Amino acid sequence: MSESKSKAEPPPSQKQMPNALKFFFGGLAGICGAIIVQPFDVVKTRMQVSVTSSGKNEFNSSFHCAQTIFASEGVLGLYRGLSAAILRQATYTTTRLGIYTYLNGQYEKTYESKPTVLASMLIGVVAGSIGAMVGTPTEVALIRMQADGRLPPAERRNYTNVFNALSRVIKEEGVASLYRGCFPTTVRAAIVNVSQLASYTQFKMFFNKQLNMPDGFKVQFASSMLSGLLTTLTSMPMDMAKTRIQSMKIVDGKAEYSGSLDVLLKVVRKEGVFAPWKGITPYFLRLGQHTIYTLLFLEQFTRMYYKYVLGDDKRTGL
């Protein structure tokens, strides 16, 4: 009985992780990364919305911004919106990384090879776009909570947590307001996923095949670093547009911006050509580091599952 059972059971190398677990590990990796980089995310958001009516910047640098937040709001000011950041990862990152790893696995199963550059890009666009649509409401709550501290006390929304923010937005502004900035959020997510996940896959293949380096922590770290830098440079203008739209107020029934292109044109005209990359240091420290931590956590979660649950010692990660 036991002999026939063992014959029917596939070898460890052919066993696969359940799809539900791919989504769970993706979200968990994102949450771990978000907790670490939250202060940089707060500084990045404040830098992006820190412009006076005359077009002048409120902060001289990212360090000045962090100092100002710490002096006026304390350590907790650097963790504003943490509950929203965690819920955002639980929705957006769970969806995008889950879909990405699932589609990657389906590609390898169908074609018996790693995805090509074009395939990785298409998978990244699909995963990022769907994830963004799922996560936009928490993104709106996160941006508002992070930007709240820079407003005069009388104008602050003073959300107590992400659920309070979501319920108040629905009550005070309608359900549609939860999807304000959905288009730039989706475009940004598509850019991020193509730059981040697709490039990560290709960088790993380059190290493995061209430089003959075996997959492992060194290759994963180097690939995630390069991926984080590329993602920062390509996605920041759309992130700027998304942040301005999601944090803007409606005055006398008129919105400050009509859309992403309007944001970027006004920003360039009033603040300079390089203004869309304002706050690039905290943005890289936030997104670049988050890319590194998320991908490394996901790699380790995947490796440990295959090793300790499925008994596959040869699987090194994704």
Is-contact 136 185, C-beta < 8 A? yes
3-state secondary structure of 51: strand
Calpha distance 102→25 (Å, rounded): 12
pLDDT for residue 242: 81
Q: pLDDT band at residue 9, thresholds of 50, 70 and 90?
A: low
* CA gyration radius, the chain: 21
Average pLDDT of the residues of the chain: 85
Mean pLDDT of the region 163-180? 92
As beta bridge partners, residue 277 has none
Angle between helices 94-111 and 19-49 (to 10 degrees): 130
Note the pTM of the prediction, 2 decimals: 0.73
3-state secondary structure of 112: coil
Q: Residue 310 above 60 pLDDT?
A: yes
Mean pLDDT of the region 233-238? 87
Calpha distance 93→127 (Å, rounded): 10
Q: pLDDT band at residue 33, thresholds of 50, 70 and 90?
A: very high
- Residue appearing with tokens 């984080």: 228
Report the half-sphere exposure of 19 (CA within 13 A, side-chain side): 9
As beta bridge partners, residue 255 has 250
Lowest mean pLDDT among 61-65, 69-73, 174-178: 61-65
Q: What is the pLDDT of residues 79-120, one digit of tens each?
A: 988 999 999 999 998 998 889 888 988 998 898 888 888 888
Calpha distance 168→160 (Å, rounded): 10
pLDDT for residue 6: 47
Is-contact 269 55, C-beta < 8 A? no
* Residue percentage of the chain with pLDDT more than 90: 30
Hey, what domains does the chain have and what are their CATH numbers? Answer: 17-51+58-309 (1.50.40.10)
The H-assigned helical ranges of the chain are 2-8, 19-49, 62-73, 82-88, 94-111, 117-147, 162-173, 182-193, 199-205, 217-247, 260-271, 280-283, 289-304
Mean pLDDT of the region 225-249? 85
Q: Residue 158 above 50 pLDDT?
A: yes
3-state secondary structure of 174: coil
Q: Residue 46 above 90 pLDDT?
A: no
Mean pLDDT of the region 13-22? 79
Q: pLDDT band at residue 239, thresholds of 50, 70 and 90?
A: confident
CB neighbours of 260 closer than 8 A, spacing ≥ 6?
Answer: 183, 184, 187, 238, 241, 242, 245
pLDDT for residue 86: 94
Highest-pLDDT range among 114-123, 240-249, 250-259: 114-123
Lowest mean pLDDT among 84-88, 169-173, 247-251: 247-251
CA-nearest of 226, 225, 244 to 44 is: 244
